Structure 1
Amino acid sequence: MAMVSKIPFQLTGRYAERNKWENLNGPGDSRVTGMKIIEDKGLVGAMSDKVVLITGVSSGMGPATVRALASTGATIFATARNLDKAKEALGSLLDTGRVHLLFMDQTDLSSVRACAEDFRRRSSKLNIVINNAGVMNTPEQRTKDGFELQLATNHLSHFLLFHLLRDLLLASTEPGFHSRVVNVSSSGHRYGPVRFDNLNLDGIYDGWAAYGQSKAANIYMANQIERLFGARGLHGYSLSPGSFFSPNLQKYSQEGIETAKGDQRMMKYFGSFEQACATSVFGAVSAELEGKGGLYLEGASVAGPVPPDGDVIEYGYGEWAFDREKEEKLWEVSRQMVGVE
């Protein structure tokens, strides 16, 4: 007999029903894929005038995100640290003339700056940025810039990239399609808050706490983008893609993966890469989000707060996900850390 959650359902929108417990059955179940969203919205070949930038495309849900958005006819710039691996992952998409690879090492802010310059040489337009790249639960490390690895990779690199390309996003916004920044966060943002008094977690490092902090930062950044630029036609969204198996992302979390495989409830929540990318695609193109940012998305739907009795995989955002004072504080601290005005 299937277990049905008694927790109030936290998702709203066209695809919300598919995410209910009684409809879940693991990868390839009835949950929507990124490609299906493009088809449902009649966007196949319909966005040839749009330019999209996606980070982290060499593995995981990155290639699936590119494939779905490439079907719209948009011009896509995709970043990776390992270009050979990215070329293999994207395959024939690179032969279309509309998908272009850019090198970016997100552990090195000078590489982020070089990537932004490369992009600007190639395009004067930018409608959508999907900040997809990330690392998870890594051993304690510092980047060459002196920052904790997960905060630097998952948040600071994307924060800097946004600032370096912000003018293009603002200039490219249109009355019928406002520019969008889509930050791939995680339900893992609920693992821990942003530690403003010790962002590097010096002396108290824990891989999951660092991951949670970086993913909370993704949400704060999106919310602050909305607050600062929403009225000018530039909107910020954050999201959880849900659970999926990714050897590269989860290489430091094998014990947890083995535990998940033994948990029936958890396994039903896991999806395929094509399903995982659906929420990013939804955030990037959905007309129902037009002009409305500062939202946390999950299951290709708008999510509400996780209930107090929700478990680690329950839908919804955590208690510290929306906090104006902390969002504004992180924005200013991040500006100082990456050296932008």
Structure 2
Amino acid sequence: MWWLLPCILGFIRLYLDGVRVLLYQLFNRSFTLPDFPKQNGKVAIVTGGARGMGYEVSRHLASLDMHVVIAGNEEQEGLAAVKKIREELNQGKAGVMLVPERRTEDGFELHFGLNYLGHFLLTNLLLDVLKKSGKPGKCSRIVIMSSATHYGGRLTLDDLQGRMCYSAHGAYAQSKLALLLFSYHLQDQLWVRGDSVTVNAVDPGMVDTALYDNLCSPAQLAKKPFAKLLFRTPAEGASTAIYAAAASELEGIGGLYLYNGRKTESSALSHDQRLQGKLWKVSCTLVGLQ
């Protein structure tokens, strides 16, 4: 029965993190975005930009006159989002959470593959363009969407795909921790080379989106009466990501973990440089990068 212990611990950690976030949101108002100047000439690529928080990020950045590219899995969904944004201005799927054990087309565990590896690969494929586009005083910006669940995350390098013991809760938390490890390591690499690219991670809080559709039945029942009162709306959840992408006071500043519009301290494990380097090497091997 020992093999059940990681699954049970992952379950407990994730829900404890959730309770902590809800208590914060109960007594603290959502971050309110300041007014930003127009961002003419800038380009933003928003993964999962067709729905939920991603849609709100796309819509807001487009309203600032950024050229927004929506990246996702469903072409028609993306086209519909573009049409809707255009109509509004004229008057992922970027992530998954708590899904049953499934694999991507390449055989990766779904949380790890979709939430983390896909973004790791896309970012690396765009790095040359980002470096050329950035310059002192006008850096290119990478914004990574993490989560408070990373605090309970554990990274098992010899079983990243959860084949020994699968826990949906542990797998989700692991993917969000991996995103933070990646963002910090990438920023360090960019700083060493003197590249004008910043990398910041954001935590949207607990937001009322379709991500929670895979909660277990008791959790679904518990969520419904409190969602409207305690959860953030998609627009509120997107505000910190928009802030990280557009705020002038963050020009040239990277390596941050932002929550509710403020710099916050992420877990001690996320700052483990040895673990960051090991994950980077493993990730490069998995996606076929040198």
Change (3 A) 1:180 1:332: same
Supply the distance in 1 between the matched residues of 2:165 and 2:187 (Cα, whole angstroms): 33
The residue type paired with residue 177 of structure 2 is A
Match in the other structure for 1:321? 270
Which one of the candidate residues 168, 188, 197 is aligned to 1:234? Answer: 197
After TM superposition, the structure 1 = structure 2 runs for residues 48-197 of structure 1, keeping only pairs within 5 Å, are 48-94=40-86, 133-197=94-158
Given the alignment of the two structures, is residue 222 of structure 1 paired with residue 183 of structure 2, yes or no?
A: yes
Given the alignment of the two structures, is residue 286 of structure 1 paired with residue 247 of structure 2, yes or no?
A: yes
Match in the other structure for 2:13? none
Residues 153, 176 of structure 2: 8 Å contact kept = no
Change (3 A) 1:180 1:148: same
Aligned length: 262
Given the alignment of the two structures, is residue 205 of structure 1 paired with residue 166 of structure 2, yes or no?
A: yes
Residues 25, 231 of structure 2: 8 Å contact kept = no
Residues 51, 93 of structure 2: 8 Å contact kept = no
Residues 243, 271 of structure 1: 8 Å contact kept = yes
Change (3 A) 1:318 1:257: farther
The residue type paired with residue 150 of structure 2 is H
Shift of 1:96: 9.9
Residues 162-185 of structure 1 show CA distances to partners (whole Å, capped at 9, x for unaligned) of 111110000000222211111101
Deviates more, 1:84-93 or 1:319-328: 84-93
Given the alignment of the two structures, is residue 251 of structure 1 paired with residue 216 of structure 2, yes or no?
A: no
Corresponding residue SS for 2:271: coil
Residues 242, 269 of structure 1: 8 Å contact kept = no
Residues 245, 270 of structure 1: 8 Å contact kept = yes
Match in the other structure for 2:16? none
Supply the distance in 2 between the matched residues of 1:260 and 1:214 (Cα, whole angstroms): 23
Given the alignment of the two structures, is residue 340 of structure 1 paired with residue 289 of structure 2, yes or no?
A: yes
Corresponding residue SS for 1:145: coil
Residues 132, 183 of structure 1: 8 Å contact kept = no
Change (3 A) 1:20 1:276: closer
Supply the distance in 2 between the matched residues of 1:52 and 1:78 (Cα, whole angstroms): 8
Shift of 1:157: 0.7
Residues 242, 276 of structure 1: 8 Å contact kept = yes
The residue type paired with residue 298 of structure 1 is Y
Deviates more, 1:83-92 or 1:320-329: 83-92
The residue type paired with residue 236 of structure 1 is V
Shift of 1:225: 1.3
Scaled by the length of structure 2, the TM-score of the pair is 0.83
Shift of 1:187: 0.8
Corresponding residue SS for 2:122: helix
User: What's the % identity of the aligned pairs?
Assistant: 31
Residues 201, 210 of structure 1: 8 Å contact kept = yes
Supply the distance in 2 between the matched residues of 1:96 and 1:335 (Cα, whole angstroms): 40
Supply the distance in 2 between the matched residues of 1:252 and 1:48 (Cα, whole angstroms): 39
Supply the distance in 1 between the matched residues of 2:216 and 2:52 (Cα, whole angstroms): 16
The residue type paired with residue 222 of structure 2 is T
The residue type paired with residue 195 of structure 2 is R
Match in the other structure for 1:275? 236
Residues 40, 64 of structure 2: 8 Å contact kept = yes
Greater helix share, 1 or 2? 2
Residues 154, 174 of structure 2: 8 Å contact kept = yes
Shift of 1:23: 4.0
Residues 75-110 of structure 1 show CA distances to partners (whole Å, capped at 9, x for unaligned) of 11111212222333443434799xxxxxxxxxxxxx
The residue type paired with residue 32 of structure 1 is F
Scaled by the length of structure 1, the TM-score of the pair is 0.71
Supply the distance in 2 between the matched residues of 1:165 and 1:179 (Cα, whole angstroms): 11
Corresponding residue SS for 1:77: strand
Supply the distance in 1 between the matched residues of 2:259 and 2:55 (Cα, whole angstroms): 19
Supply the distance in 1 between the matched residues of 2:240 and 2:200 (Cα, whole angstroms): 10
Corresponding residue SS for 2:176: helix
- RMSD value, Cα: 2.3
Change (3 A) 1:153 1:32: same
Change (3 A) 1:94 1:193: same
